[in-house]
Structure 1
Amino acid sequence: MFVGLTGGTGCGKSTALECFSSLGWKTLDADGICYELYGDRNSGVAEAIRRRWGDRVFSGNGDVDRKKVADIVFRSRKERLWLNSLLHPMVLERAVKEARKSKNRNVIFAVPLLFEAKWEKEFDCTVSIWTDRKTQYQRLAKRGWSLEEIERRCKCQITPDEKMELADFAIINNGGIDLLYQQCKILNKDIRKNYGKKQ
């Protein structure tokens, strides 16, 4: 069973993944795979980025500086589309391989741009985690982001409301970890009951 988890920036995807992991799921994270690709010399990602943007987006030790890359792609739709076209196929390929080789047949994959990338058909079902805008912005501000940066990043995604409407299931994450965990437990049972037979 391959489940896609999505949600806006700051809506709680990582925390939800932790909840599902505690419930016996194999978890994968698109952002984590991206970071792996940046550091994997064999992936060709770093070389492509250097050709595109030069040495200015690399740190002193030769690694891709993700913050500098983010500064570029969240200011330019053209550059964002270029990076997505480079990374998305490789991210999906790695995730599918990981899911197939996993001994755990219940796999949940967190993908911030699941619907934007039109990956919904890759999954048995999709889950969107939702947070109201005020709470979302407060969480992102705690990361040290300015209001300008928060708005710039959020505008690069469809809204949490739209993601929730497109998903098969939704989690409301306006409360604390206990409430989130309770919803994940209920959803875990529902998904296993309704989609487990497809394994």
Structure 2
Amino acid sequence: MTETHPALPFIIGLTGGIGSGKSAAADRFAQAHGIHVVDADHKSRVVVEPGRPALHRIVDRFGQHVLDNSGALNRAELRRLVFADPAERKWLEQLLHPLIRDEIAADLAASKSAYALLVSPLLVESTQRNLVRRILVIDAPEAIQISRTMQRDQVPEAQVKAIMQAQAEREERLRHAHDVIVNDRDLAALHAQVDTLHRHYLTLAQGAST
């Protein structure tokens, strides 16, 4: 049973494994339909910007080598460290998740569209799911996820698999899903599925507001 914050609009949580096509789906909701989109990954970067307390704690924990030449967080280096050590990943999550959730809630509360979209790869695993009314899973076969991510991020297959293992299992995401988009074809097929769901969400949001 999901809980919703009383000040928040009707919110759809969009999730999926790495390389599943979350960003492409979210872009369609935003650009074609004017839906307010909050990206949890973006908020995770905001909370560790230079000058933020969280960045100081991360440097204290891992050392100066997690910073790049400009003094900003070297996310690739930090990712390499924490995905090699589950205890360090847990420490980082306990530090960042509450901060990220506060940033997300503030942005969602500012939404003016008929409903809002929270895009998060960790929606099912974290308390972020308590912010949403429905969960939309973007699903793709694992082989497609791996090849897309390797091509996009120029990273080795082993690193992609480590990230996938840290995220919810595909079956676990699907178990929580109210809606599923299967993104194993081209962009036009993805857009068609988004457009259909958008019409459904408009009806749901209107019903929730009456």
The interval holding the TM-score normalised by the smaller chain is: over 0.9
Superposition map of 1:79-98 within 5 A:
79-98=88-107
Q: Which runs of 5+ in 1 are unaligned?
A: none
Secondary structure of 2:48's aligned partner: helix
8 Å CA contact 1:130, 1:161 repeated in 2: no
Task: After TM superposition, give the deviation of residue 145 of structure 1 in Å.
Answer: 1.6
Give the AA of the match of 1:140.
T
What is the alpha-carbon distance in structure 2 between the residues aligned to residue 94 and residue 13 of structure 1? 20
2:59 to 50, 56, 59: 50
Identity of aligned residues (%): 24
Query: Runs (4+) of structure 1 moved beyond 3 Å?
Result: none
8 Å CA contact 2:114, 2:202 repeated in 1: no
2:37 to 27, 33, 37: 27
- Name the count of aligned residue pairs: 198
Residue 100 of structure 1: aligned partner: 109
2:119 to 103, 110, 120: 110
TM-score normalised over the length of structure 1: 0.94
8 Å CA contact 2:114, 2:205 repeated in 1: no
Q: Which runs of 5+ in 2 are unaligned?
A: 1-9
Task: After TM superposition, give the deviation of residue 40 of structure 1 in Å.
Answer: 5.0
Give the AA of the match of 1:124.
R
What is the alpha-carbon distance in structure 1 between the residues aligned to residue 114 and residue 205 of structure 2? 12
Matched, 1:61 2:51: no
Superposition map of 1:109-188 within 5 A:
109-142=118-151, 143-188=153-198
What is the alpha-carbon distance in structure 2 between the residues aligned to residue 17 and residue 79 of structure 1? 30
Give the AA of the match of 1:197.
G
Give the AA of the match of 2:182.
I
8 Å CA contact 1:30, 1:110 repeated in 2: yes
Q: CA RMSD in A?
A: 1.4
Task: After TM superposition, give the deviation of residue 196 of structure 1 in Å.
Answer: 3.2
